Amino acid sequence: MEKTASHRVVIVGAGQASLSCAAKLRALGFAGPITLIGDEPHLPYQRPPLSKKYLTGEMDAERLLLRPPEWFREQNVTCLTGERAASI
């Protein structure tokens, strides 16, 4: 994989699979900017605990996040929330 920052990656969707893809690109040494585009208003979060623990008050919203907000800054990954990709 080319490790220079001359390319950029845009991933449509901002769920667990998209975040895993972005993290894997970084782990493989991809140095260019990565952007996730998702129509939900939140950073990628765990869906199973949403109904099992969060809604019952056993877990706070911050613990639902798959990665903390600082991870996105540190990894040069932009997450556009509340946005919908209209075309590719």
In this structure, what token pair is assigned to residue 53? 């623990």
pLDDT tens, position by position, 52-81: 666 666 667 777 778 999 999 999 999 999
In a domain, 76, yes or no: yes
Q: Taking a C-beta distance cutoff of 8 angstroms, is the pair 35, 19 a contact?
A: no
In a domain, 13, yes or no: yes
Q: Quote the domain boundaries for residue 53.
A: 9-80
How much is the pTM? 0.81
pLDDT tens, position by position, 24-59: 999 999 999 999 999 999 898 777 656 666 666 666
pLDDT value at residue 14: 93
Total number of domains constituting the chain: 1
Q: What is the CATH number of the domain that holds 60?
A: 3.50.50.60
In a domain, 86, yes or no: no
